[in-house]
């Protein structure tokens, strides 16, 4: 027998009882909206036969894995609908913009609004049909035969050289696919979705709910500058010739990855040089503000930008916002009573702006140094004067928020948003989230440079994301320019470090399910030797060996 605990009550079942039967017997869930269940720290879908005891937690659409499952199920229904409406078409899912996933249907003739309306109608028809979605566990060899039968070249490239022995395929009325994550057991779970035309390309955006009852979809908010970055990145990938993990692995296996690395790094350098030229052309610019979410590579970007600024005959002077924290007793606290160092109110805005104004007026300023042990600013003779051809570089999470530099005229400021906006997908139907790449970057860096283990980093990640939503993402469209720090080859380098850390985390950890999910991504990448990474690469900020600093 197995024992499952739900709402402090114990239930006993025969070992191997299907989860759907367990749910029906307990009969205390919102079954019309139930996507998965979690037993202790491991997710299970409703088809699974349960053989372990533990705490049972229902998963709806407001849970991260629940939302991914809802989206995957919606995408499978979309693929099925597209195949019925447009025989022999190809469906691609590329990147997330705001709360929408960009999708394309490659068919004869341009995709019109009428076509999108037909897709919506056909998808709703499939939902109302309430068809079961089968999960089939196959050997890789068996799966490859199905991929070949349905001309899934992207999946053949991805899995043919993988170390996996088995793979789960999902089948909906004769349409097969593999997803990184779960797919619901029945089409009827998809209560709400939306497809809206995308103004910048020929495809459309897929929107799904984020609420527990899946009844509400937040309105799409346009991000024109961010959209342009994705369009630019797409051009870069065409130059490199790599858009999926399978294609990357082919480059690694046929020894042409060296050229891919050179081109990718050269594209980064070219973009940084272009940004430096933009700054030079705006003769009134004296303050360069750099902001972006965690593990975007802000520090290395600042150093490389400084080099290009000097090439243009200007002198960059770095000014850190961390030295302008208010005294510890004045630091605001969050809802849990903890110090909120990411709040703008944690900075001495008045002093910061006074020093900036004095520097821009040609005065010599004694810059403080914040003593984190004592929790107060100290003045130790760090005097700075901005030369006539000088520019200040300020890196910090609040750089795009004008309240940080409220006394500085707009024409004197140049704002840069940097993030690892991953364009590489696992295959045509499975994307890699930018957030996942950043957490892998941070986990590797935190261990190598700060001694934090992977579990500590993963436990803090939700708090980090919350701070980013509050202090960074809402200001990203204020940037004068955006820089995508993603490198198409980076997971091939990071995976060796990341896997070693993941393997230290036990099943008892509350982040174990997240470990399994991230491992399922990086296990599909072939290894790339660390020594192939240039010493000035942004990637060196996370793996060590950078020419700009040591750790």
377 forms beta bridges with 370
What mean pLDDT do residues 439-461 have?
91
> 344 with 338: CB under 8 angstroms?
no
Per-residue confidence band for 234, with pLDDT thresholds at 50, 70 and 90: confident
| Residue 335 host element (H or E) | none
- Domain annotation covers residue 514: yes
Residue 550 has pLDDT above 80, yes or no: no
Same domain, 107 and 160: yes
pLDDT of residue 119: 98
Q: What is the pLDDT at residue 34?
A: 95
Task: Answer whether residue 133 is part of any domain.
Answer: yes
**Residue 293, SS3?**
coil
217 three-class SS = coil
Select from 43, 61, 432 the least CA-distant residue to 218. Answer: 61
CA distance 87 to 174: 14
pTM over 0.75, yes/no:
yes
In this prediction, residue 233 carries a pLDDT of 87
- Asked which of 24, 39, 59 is the last residue of a domain, the reply is 59
Summarised one tens digit per residue, pLDDT across range 277-336 is: 999 999 999 999 999 999 999 999 999 999 999 999 999 999 989 899 999 999 999 888
What is the per-residue pLDDT for 551? Answer: 62
Question: Comparing 338 with 158, which gets the higher pLDDT?
Answer: 158
User: What's residue 396's pLDDT?
Assistant: 87
Residues 283 and 405 in one domain: yes
pLDDT digits (tens, 9 = 90+) for 412-444: 999 999 999 998 999 999 999 999 999 999 999
For residue 550, is it within any domain?
Answer: no
| Across 149-158, average pLDDT | 94
Instruction: Say whether both 247 and 288 belong to one domain.
Output: yes
Task: Provide the domain count of the chain.
Answer: 3
**Quick one: 76 and 133 in the same domain?**
yes
Distances (CA, A) of 459 to 430, 434, 465, 512, 543: 25, 18, 11, 10, 21
**228, 502 in Cβ contact below 8 A?**
no
481, 278 contact by CB (below 8 A):
yes
pLDDT at 237: 84
* pLDDT band at residue 210 using 50, 70 and 90 as cut-offs: confident
Cβ atoms of 423 and 230 within 8 Å: the answer is: yes
Do residues 341 and 397 lie in contact, with contact meaning Cβ atoms separated by under 8 Å? no
In sequence order, the β-bridge partners of residue 395 are 290, 320
Same domain flag for 234 and 265: yes
In the chain, what is the straight-line distance between the N-terminal and C-terminal CA atoms, in Å?
52
Mean pLDDT of the chain: 94
User: What is the residue-wise DSSP string for 508-546?
Assistant: TSTTHHHHHHHHHHHTTSPP--GGGS-TT-TTHHHHS--
40 plus 93 within the same structural domain: no
Domain that holds residue 424: 224-314+389-543
Do 110 and 244 lie in one domain? The reply is no
In this predicted structure, what is the pLDDT of residue 118?
97
Considering the domain architecture, whether residues 266 and 402 belong to the same structural domain is answered as yes
CA–CA separation, 420 vs 425, rounded Å?
A: 14
What DSSP state is assigned to residue 396? Answer: S
Q: Which residues contact 450 (CB under 8 A, 6 or more apart)?
A: none
The two tokens of residue 107 are: 């068919």
Q: Tell whether 405 and 535 lie within a shared domain.
A: yes
Q: Is residue 535 domain-resident?
A: yes
Q: Is residue 450 part of a domain?
A: yes
- Shared domain check, 277 and 164: no
Where among 207, 239, 259 does a domain terminate? 207
Instruction: Give pLDDT tens digits for 41-80.
Output: 999 999 999 999 999 999 999 899 999 999 999 999 999 9
Greatest alpha-carbon span in the chain: 79
CA–CA distance, 356 with 321 (Å, rounded to integer): 11
Evaluate whether residue 334 is within a structural domain: no
Query: Are 414 and 461 in the same domain?
Result: yes
Does 330 fall in a domain? Answer: no
Does residue 466 surpass a pLDDT of 90? no
pLDDT of residue 487: 96
Q: What is the CATH number of the domain that holds 150?
A: 3.30.980.10
Domain boundary among 145, 175, 207: 207
- What average pLDDT score do residues 471-494 get? 96
Q: Are 346 and 421 in contact (CB under 8 A)?
A: no
Residue 455 and residue 492 in one domain:
yes
Contact predicate 173/143, CB 8 Å: no
Q: What CATH number should be reported for the domain holding residue 10?
A: 3.10.20.30
CB 1 within 8 A of CB 12: yes
Output the 3-class SS for 379-395: EEEEEECCCCCEEEEEE
- Residue 320 lies inside a defined structural domain of this protein: no
């Amino acid at each position: 027998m197995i024992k499952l605990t739900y709402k402090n009550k114990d239930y006993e079942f025969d070992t191997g009882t299907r989860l759907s039967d367990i749910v029906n017997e307990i009969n205390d869930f919102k079954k019309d909206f139930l996507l998965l269940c979690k037993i202790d720290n491991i997710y299970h879908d409703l088809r699974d036969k349960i053989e372990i005891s533990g705490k049972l937690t229902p998963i709806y659409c407001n849970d991260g894995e629940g939302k991914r499952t809802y989206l995957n199920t919606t995408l499978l229904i979309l693929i099925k609908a597209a195949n019925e409406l447009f025989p022999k078409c190809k469906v691609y899912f590329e990147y997330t913009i705001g709360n929408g996933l960009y999708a394309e249907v490659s068919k004869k003739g341009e995709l019109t609004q009428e076509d999108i309306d037909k897709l919506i109608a056909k998808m709703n028809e499939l939902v109302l049909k309430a068809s079961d979605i089968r999960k089939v566990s196959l050997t890789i060899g068996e799966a490859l035969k199905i991929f070949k039968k349905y001309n899934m070249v992207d999946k053949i490239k991805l899995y043919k050289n993988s170390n996996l022995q088995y793979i789960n395929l999902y089948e909906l009325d004769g349409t097969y696919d593999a997803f990184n994550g779960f797919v619901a057991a029945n089409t009827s779970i998809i209560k709400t979705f939306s497809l809206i035309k995308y103004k910048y390309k020929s495809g459309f955006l897929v929107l799904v709910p984020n609420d527990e009852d899946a009844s509400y979809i937040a309105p799409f908010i346009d991000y024109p500058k961010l959209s342009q970055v994705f369009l630019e990145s797409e051009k870069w990938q065409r130059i490199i010739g790599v858009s999926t993990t399978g294609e990357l692995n082919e480059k690694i296996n046929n020894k042409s990855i060296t050229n891919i690395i050179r081109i990718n790094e050269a594209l980064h350098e070219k973009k940084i040089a272009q940004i430096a030229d933009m700054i030079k052309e705006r003769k009134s610019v004296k303050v360069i503000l750099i902001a972006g979410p965690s593990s975007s590579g802000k520090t290395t970007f600042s150093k490389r930008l400084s080099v290009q600024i000097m090439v243009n005959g200007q002198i960059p002077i770095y000014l850190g916002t961390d030295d302008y924290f208010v005294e510890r007793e004045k630091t605001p606290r969050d809802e849990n009573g903890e110090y909120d160092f990411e709040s703008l109110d944690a900075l001495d805005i008045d002093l910061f702006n006074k020093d900036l104004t004095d520097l821009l007026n040609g005065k010599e300023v004694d810059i403080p140094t914040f003593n984190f042990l004592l929790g107060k600013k100290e003045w130790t003779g760090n005097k700075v004067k901005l030369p006539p051809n000088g520019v200040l570089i300020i890196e910090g999470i609040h750089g795009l928020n004008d309240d940080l530099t409220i006394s500085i005229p707009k024409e004197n400021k140049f704002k840069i948003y940097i993030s690892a906006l991953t364009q590489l997908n696992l295959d045509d139907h499975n994307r890699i989230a930018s957030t996942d790449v950043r957490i892998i970057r941070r986990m590797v860096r935190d261990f190598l440079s700060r001694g934090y283990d992977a579990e500590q980093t993963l436990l803090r990640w939700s708090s980090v994301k919350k701070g980013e939503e509050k202090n960074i993402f809402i200001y990203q469209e204020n940037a004068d320019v955006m820089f995508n720090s993603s490198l198409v080859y980076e997971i091939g380098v990071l995976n060796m470090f990341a896997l070693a850390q993941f393997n230290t985390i036990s099943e008892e950890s509350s982040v174990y399910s997240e470990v399994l999910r991230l491992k399922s991504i990086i296990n599909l990448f072939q290894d790339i030797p660390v020594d192939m990474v240039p010493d000035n690469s942004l990637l060196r900020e996370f793996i060590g060996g950078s020419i700009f600093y040591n750790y």
